[in-house]
Chains A and B, each alone.
Chain A
């Protein structure tokens, strides 16, 4: 281990050379030089939530399919605009018609559509896309070809409620590629995925992937831009930095103060309410084994009344959230479904007197510690939130003081994501700040079915099944019956009647305490591109993480 002086000097020279290589590389390289030949415009860089390392997977049946698979490469029969009420827009389908009893659905297909490998799209492809091993919808009896451009579904029961699932969320895949695969779930479809969508894959690495315009796309008007690059980014502070350095063009992400990004005019900004209502789950049903003060509906009602949602919104959600509806319909889109006489929104301010009155009417007495109690049971419970979800953590803290004013004792605690999922699954919790899956189209049916019916729940201590999400353990025969009734019809009047029964029950029982719809903030480059959705022209839900909606936006924007 004896190093001579000369060897030391040699080592120093090598180090110096390496340093010079590094600095010379600095000068020769410039990240800002945007690609895209033809002089028409730069490659559009989008961030839609992918984290590195990116693993090539463009199989629409895989849970780990990359953003862009759905929408950019594969398309459904119809496009349902999640941002607005309206008729579905034809994509690979042209029109559809339900039979009166809802047991059959006929779909006319678009003619002259080609896969990006030049083969024509046929009725067989469409039928295969609804009947293959990976999709296998158990409510579908048969899908048959009527003629070359028409197919017909037949069902065992009326399936009006699955219209969106069938026409708007089932993606059409090429039979000639997929049917030769042994296992449709492990298939990665990583090289040259064959689809009908507006874009096709150009290149992929573990940090990003590029899609380019599909020249054989059926709509000659779209897409207008040539290339899109999906970036993998870890952490939204990095995405913010990229926006500031003009290296990112389109993303939906949380930024407390959007003005820091939109200040220089390059970025446009659109604020939308997420369809998923932020709500407090309560283990509400003592008959199903729930324990704690919140099993008394008076306590839940009083707690909901005691909350100052405006304050929580301002302090915990940076004012970006908007009030939810007590009926769990999406405000601004689903008003027509709300029963007359029920409030359209939850109140923003607290009603302390009202809360106290509910408790007193239910027989609670104010104790010397300022907390109501009845028969030895104090109006006291724990509100949990997931550690690291800082908005929910802050909301929990605020609730403590707000509830205290109405004589209710709230203990705010944080749990890990693991504990949280376990608590929800087995029902061993009192309250948790969480969110429900909203409905993509204007009809609250699936939300009522998944969160409020007895079939979607189990007793506390038994874990919920894979498709059961009635975390509140809510059980009400009236609601079950009404949900069943709504499934049988496509008649708006009858549906409204059924929903009225459900809404009356859940507003009264509050198994989930409605809070907000979180804000989704979309930023887009309006200096180089135009045609983005706006408040006036909401042709799609603009979130960059929503596959089909974002793909439609990408196909509509053009170079400026």
Chain B
């Protein structure tokens, strides 16, 4: 029990520190939201009407409360579940923006991450099993794909599969022509959403699968030289049984741990993918908030990410404590 109490206390302190940093870091950055807003407007060639000029002052002219006062207010609002109002999407509450974007991110990036993990572990296990054969040639190819810049792969895919061949849509999470009123609960809509998700998901998988393959393959090779594998072979077990239940299961453990953390990071979305495919998601909220000095939105997104990653870590910690007694004694 002491182990869990200590872990919980540790995570509470970490949470407090993370949330406080969330508050502090954006404010340490130079620049001011008002002139950035006007500048972006101008660079686009826009015109600011007299009425808008006044409201810009109202929206961006936040009263100069001291940092401490702001900090106290920040915590107060946070505990009330109020994340504030975004200034770049004024006057939308931050919680609305995040809750609209989150499902897209969770489903697409989440699914892609899971597929990528299973695919990577599967291929890695096979390559490790057949080490020294032609199967090993997979490894450099896969890692090469991972090291190619993601946005480039994505742009090539769009140019080829969407524009040249016309197989896939170019933008959006669903067809904007067919559903101008937005998401609805119908098979046609779900079909449209799945269709729009294929290309983004494929690019994410291609870009991330290599890491899983490499890690798994190497673990597999070292597991295969373990005594219990030799014993299993000596007992005359079938190859399939040794592969699945003796080698792969043990070799997958480290991958499982990092898979937990990766799942936690899913909520951060995939910034570049969302930009290239104009796909709804959290990553875009984050990058826009940072660029435009939208403190409330920035804090909101960072908060969601920190809390989820911490929760994922915590969960992995608990599970590790459960399955590995050594972890419990070593705190």
Residue-wise, chain B 114-142 has the 8 Å CB interface mask toward A (1 for contact) of 00000000000000000000000000000
Contact B51 A170 (CB under 8 A): yes
Nearest CB in chain A to that of B97: its residue = A53
Nearest CB in chain A to that of B33: its residue = A421
Residues of A close to B37: CB separation below 8 A: 63
Question: A349 within 8 Å of B by Cβ?
Answer: no
- The answer to whether A135 and B171 touch (CB under 8 A), given A35-B177, A170-B49, is no
Contact B31 A419 (CB under 8 A): yes
Contact B90 A64 (CB under 8 A): yes
Question: B166 within 8 Å of A by Cβ?
Answer: yes
Residues of A close to B47: CB separation below 8 A: 169, 440, 546-547
Contact B97 A55 (CB under 8 A): yes
Nearest CB in chain A to that of B46: its residue = A545
- The answer to whether A435 and B43 touch (CB under 8 A), given A52-B278, A206-B280, A418-B31, is yes
- Kindly identify which residue among B39, B54, B188 contacts A135, using a CB–CB cutoff of 8 Å: B54
Question: B181 within 8 Å of A by Cβ?
Answer: yes
A339 to B31, CA, bound (A): 39
Question: B276 within 8 Å of A by Cβ?
Answer: yes
Nearest CB in chain B to that of A185: its residue = B55
- The answer to whether A241 and B35 touch (CB under 8 A), given A61-B52, A170-B49, is no
- The answer to whether A520 and B90 touch (CB under 8 A), given A34-B177, A55-B97, is no
Task: Give the residues from 262 to 319 in chain B that come closer than 8 angstroms, CB to CB, to chain A.
Answer: 274-278, 280, 284-285, 288, 291, 293
Residues of A close to B278: CB separation below 8 A: 52, 207, 232-235, 238
Contact A202 B180 (CB under 8 A): yes
- Kindly identify which residue among B29, B31, B55, B173 contacts A134, using a CB–CB cutoff of 8 Å: B55
Contact B36 A418 (CB under 8 A): yes
Residue-wise, chain A 219-255 has the 8 Å CB interface mask toward B (1 for contact) of 0000000000101111101100110110100000000
A19 to B263, CA, bound (A): 22
A202 to B176, CA, bound (A): 14
Residues of B close to A235: CB separation below 8 A: 275-276, 278
Contact A276 B180 (CB under 8 A): no
Contact B177 A33 (CB under 8 A): yes
Contact A185 B35 (CB under 8 A): no
Contact B180 A210 (CB under 8 A): yes
Question: A383 within 8 Å of B by Cβ?
Answer: no
A46 to B85, CA, bound (A): 29
Contact B49 A53 (CB under 8 A): no
Q: How many B residues are at the interface, by size bracket?
A: 35 or more
Interface centre among B91, B155, B280 (most CB of A within 10 A): B91
Please count how many residues in chain A sit with their CB below 8 Å of the partner chain's CB atoms.
Answer: 84
Residue-wise, chain A 304-329 has the 8 Å CB interface mask toward B (1 for contact) of 00000000000000000000000000
Residues of A close to B30: CB separation below 8 A: 416, 418-419, 422
Question: B61 within 8 Å of A by Cβ?
Answer: yes
Residue-wise, chain A 165-188 has the 8 Å CB interface mask toward B (1 for contact) of 100011100000000000011101
- The answer to whether A242 and B180 touch (CB under 8 A), given A64-B88, A169-B47, is no
Nearest CB in chain A to that of B277: its residue = A238
Question: A208 within 8 Å of B by Cβ?
Answer: yes
Residues of B close to A247: CB separation below 8 A: 170
Q: Interface-forming stretch among B76-84, B192-200, B221-229? A: B192-200
Contact A417 B59 (CB under 8 A): no
A276 to B35, CA, bound (A): 17
Q: Interface-forming stretch among A20-28, A101-109, A485-493? A: A20-28
Contact B43 A241 (CB under 8 A): no
- Kindly identify which residue among A417, A420, A546 contacts B45, using a CB–CB cutoff of 8 Å: A546
A235 to B180, CA, bound (A): 21
Interface centre among A25, A34, A203, A424 (most CB of B within 10 A): A25
Contact B195 A425 (CB under 8 A): no
A208 to B171, CA, bound (A): 11
Contact A31 B54 (CB under 8 A): no
Task: Give the residues from 173 to 229 in chain B that come closer than 8 angstroms, CB to CB, to chain A.
Answer: 173-183, 188, 190-192, 194-195, 198
A530 to B162, CA, bound (A): 28
- The answer to whether A417 and B39 touch (CB under 8 A), given A64-B89, A238-B170, A276-B45, is yes
- The answer to whether A25 and B194 touch (CB under 8 A), given A242-B171, A417-B39, is yes
Task: Give the residues from 48 to 67 in chain B that come closer than 8 angstroms, CB to CB, to chain A.
Answer: 49-59, 61
Question: B101 within 8 Å of A by Cβ?
Answer: yes
Nearest CB in chain A to that of B240: its residue = A5
Question: A293 within 8 Å of B by Cβ?
Answer: no
Nearest CB in chain B to that of A467: its residue = B53
A169 to B170, CA, bound (A): 36
A437 to B175, CA, bound (A): 38
Residues of A close to B71: CB separation below 8 A: none
Contact A31 B46 (CB under 8 A): no
A166 to B182, CA, bound (A): 38
Interface centre among B29, B42, B293 (most CB of A within 10 A): B42
A49 to B44, CA, bound (A): 8
Question: A154 within 8 Å of B by Cβ?
Answer: no
Residues of A close to B169: CB separation below 8 A: 31
Residues of B close to A28: CB separation below 8 A: 188, 191
Closest Cβ of chain A: how far from B197's Cβ, in Å? 8
Closest Cβ of chain B: how far from A69's Cβ, in Å? 10
Question: B32 within 8 Å of A by Cβ?
Answer: yes
Residues of A close to B159: CB separation below 8 A: 241
Residue-wise, chain A 415-434 has the 8 Å CB interface mask toward B (1 for contact) of 01111111011000000000
Contact B59 A421 (CB under 8 A): no
Task: Give the residues from 81 to 129 in chain A that come closer than 8 angstroms, CB to CB, to chain B.
Answer: none
Question: A32 within 8 Å of B by Cβ?
Answer: yes
Residues of B close to A241: CB separation below 8 A: 158-159, 162-163, 170
Given A53-B89, A185-B59, A245-B170, 7 new contacts (CB under 8 A): A21-B191, A169-B49, A202-B180, A206-B182, A231-B176, A420-B39, A422-B32
Q: What are 25 A-B residue pairs whose CB atoms fall within 8 Å in the complex? A: A29-B192, A33-B177, A35-B177, A43-B177, A53-B97, A53-B280, A55-B92, A134-B54, A135-B51, A136-B54, A170-B49, A171-B49, A185-B59, A188-B91, A202-B180, A207-B280, A210-B180, A234-B276, A238-B171, A241-B170, A245-B170, A418-B30, A421-B36, A437-B42, A466-B34
In order of increasing CB-CB distance, the 6 nearest A-B pairs are: A418-B31, A205-B182, A25-B191, A421-B35, A203-B181, A55-B89
